[in-house]
Amino acid sequence: MNKKKLLVSILMLSLPAIGEMALNTLLGFTDTVMISRLIGKNALAGVGFANQIVFTLIFIFSSFNTGGTAIISRTYGEKKYNEMNKISGEIITVNIVLGIIITILALVFNEKIFTIYDMSPEVKKMTIDYFRIVGYGMPFMFLSFSFATILRGSGNTRTPMIITLIVNITNIIGNYVLITGWGPFPVLGVKGTALATTVSRGIATILYIKILFFDSGIAKIKLQDLKPTLKNIKPLWKLSYPGALEQASMQISFVVLGVIISILDTTSEAVFRILINIESISFMPAVGLSIAAATLVGKSLGEKDSHKAKITGYYSSIIGVLWGIFMGIIFFTLPDKLIGIFTTDSLLINAGLTAMLIAGFNQPFLNFMIVLSGALRGAGDTRAVMIITTLRLWLIFVPVSYILVSHMSFGVEATWIAEISSFLIFAPIMFKRFYSEKWIDIQIYEKSSNKIA
């Protein structure tokens, strides 16, 4: 095996995925900056609360895509393209059904959902105004996630990146026009941001449908592929439910964390949202590497080359750590400048400085965990990743955050102290799981035949 060639493959597949993830984060980044500068910190806190619930619902219930990545990349490696397209169609169907159900429930119970937070009346009003509009776009998000999974799993990371770029351009223009009431458009404030985001996500869905259903390519889905079958849904569920539990655990922990932070004042709530955005941007290359690792590990196992799969995981995680070290240095040296991108409020900037320095120490561990967990998911080892993640969150991350905020009078920096504590304990456990190579023997097919179980 040519290790140099493998490293090039990882980087070539990662770069468009990194671009896509960076642009995805830029969608939230532009919303945060424009809301902070054009509306104010109450709106910033409100949109943060709303998006926390939106992404909690999306990430938990779109987790069929976790198993989809493993199966699609495996069939892609085996060159079984008809089977790959059939399972892709069924993944889309599952996302359509779940997207509609979750959207209806979220919109019906939206006011009750936000009673878990301790918000001022003004922040609560902005939260619900934003959520009610963005909620209608959740089916678009479900579909876009599934479409992107299909393309990435079949080795096409470039197309999702291009579509995400189009979404960002549309969103930025829409934000400015609808927040400020430019030209003939009315001044809509927070509602304008929500409308621009929802329209942008709808455009992405239309573009994905054109590419996957009407254009020619390895991933080409027909209407009959959308019909669900027990043969495909069974292994999809087996590989996906640990991912759903992992996401449920992760997103609920973030909701609880939001509740903990809401104990503090509005300034702390606003700077917390800014810091989350900064950290999200910082680890986007690791997410791109994770996507590439998942695709290449699954493909290598489909090609019956377990050594290549193993080296892919190691190389990808090393690159992730190096990126984390680089970002840590940026966090240490430019904390005020990074927060200053989002706000000119000196109170917000000063409130986030300590947290930024702690987050800098956290970067190598965070990036390592993201990349190596992607490699394990690509091999179908979703259960191990779920267990490790859940234990990390609920044994260390959430309890330590709560104790530091409610009993020891820490501010937002408590979150990052808790996070680095959890990674110091569980990063070695994640490495040990990958090093054991137990994931090599995971079967996603029946041994008696080469059909999907």
Average pLDDT over residues 121-142: 85
Which residues in 91-202 belong to E strands, given as ranges? none
Structure tokens at 394: 């609920």
Does 372 or 340 have the greater pLDDT score?
A: 372
pLDDT digits (tens, 9 = 90+) for 78-112: 888 888 899 899 989 988 998 899 889 888 887 78
Structure tokens at 36: 């902070």
Q: How far is it, in rounded angstroms, from Cα 10 to Cα 143?
A: 26
- Whole-model pTM: value is 0.74
pLDDT given for residue 1 in this prediction: 57
Q: How far is it, in rounded angstroms, from Cα 55 to Cα 62?
A: 10
Q: How far is it, in rounded angstroms, from Cα 210 to Cα 324?
A: 37
pLDDT given for residue 250 in this prediction: 84
| 346, burial (CB in 10 Å: exposed 0-12, middle 13-18, buried 19+) | exposed
Q: How far is it, in rounded angstroms, from Cα 376 to Cα 370?
A: 10
How open is the CA angle 46-51-53, to the nearest 5 degrees?
Answer: 105
With residues binned 3-state (H G I as helix, E B as strand, rest as coil), the percentages for the chain, rounded to 5, are 85, 0, 15
First to last CA, the chain: 30
pLDDT digits (tens, 9 = 90+) for 370-415: 999 999 988 889 899 999 999 999 999 999 999 998 888 788 889 9
Average pLDDT over residues 134-153: 88
The answer on pLDDT for 364 being more than 90 is yes
Q: How far is it, in rounded angstroms, from Cα 285 to Cα 280?
A: 10
pLDDT given for residue 305 in this prediction: 86
pLDDT digits (tens, 9 = 90+) for 51-88: 777 777 777 766 777 777 778 888 888 888 888 899 89
Note whether 221 and 45 are within 8 A (CB).
Answer: no
Structure tokens at 17: 């995925």
Note whether 44 and 35 are within 8 A (CB).
Answer: yes
Question: Smallest Cα–Cα separation from 146: which of 82, 71, 79?
Answer: 71
Host H or E run for residue 275: helix 266-282
pLDDT given for residue 450 in this prediction: 44
pLDDT digits (tens, 9 = 90+) for 410-441: 888 899 999 999 999 999 999 999 999 899 88
The answer on pLDDT for 299 being more than 90 is no
Q: How far is it, in rounded angstroms, from Cα 274 to Cα 264?
A: 15
Average pLDDT over residues 162-169: 89
pLDDT given for residue 368 in this prediction: 96
